[in-house]
Homo-oligomer: A and B are copies of this chain.
Amino acid sequence: MRGTEGPETFSAFDVVGHLIDGEETDWMPRARIILARGPDPRFEPYDRFRHRARNVGRSLTSLLDELARLRAANLEELASWKLSEAQLRLTGIHPMFGAVTLRQLLAAWVVHDLGHVAQIARVMAKQYKDEVGPWVPFMPVLTDHERPRS
């Protein structure tokens, strides 16, 4: 659970912390900025490493419990908004790539999850790379992202 793919890459534990950061500081706060339609619809920059200091000494189980609670509360709030097509077309300003719609933000939330699920499976798989012997070339998950991407 603490194994990584190399320096500056996330372990499964790190990914759970990163997803918690997303719940607390990224997706819903940005959706609220868009829906507020205030004079300055710029999103706060997102800190990819907030979790490192935040979660020192925490167990994986307690982080998973926290993520589940935060996610459930966020999904409940999101559903309570009963977003209209017109609201989904509203935009905010992303610090790196400018105007994005609420629809794109919500889709990115889903894809971000799935990307990190794939990452957790890949990072866990790589911990067994020396154990599988001749299967390595037939298991692309063991050699994907040898140079980490974004």
Interface of A (DSSP majority class): helix
- In the bound complex, do residue B111 and residue A115 qualify as a contact, i.e. CB atoms below 8 Å apart? no
Residue on B with the closest CB to A144?
A: B144
Interface size class of A (residues with CB under 8 A): 35 or more
| Copies of this chain per assembly | 2
User: What are the residues of chain B within 8 A of A110 when measuring CB–CB?
Assistant: 125, 128
Most chain B Cβ neighbours within 10 Å, of A107, A141, A150: A141
CA distance A145 to B107 in the complex (A): 21
Most chain B Cβ neighbours within 10 Å, of A110, A118, A149: A118
Is A45 interfacial (CB 8 A cutoff)? no
User: What are the residues of chain B within 8 A of A144 when measuring CB–CB?
Assistant: 118, 144-145
- From A2-10, A32-40, A54-62, A93-101, give the one contacting chain B: A93-101
Extra A-B contacts (12), CB below 8 Å, given A108-B132, A118-B125, A140-B150: A104-B133, A107-B135, A111-B131, A111-B141, A111-B142, A112-B139, A115-B121, A118-B119, A118-B121, A118-B141, A118-B144, A144-B144
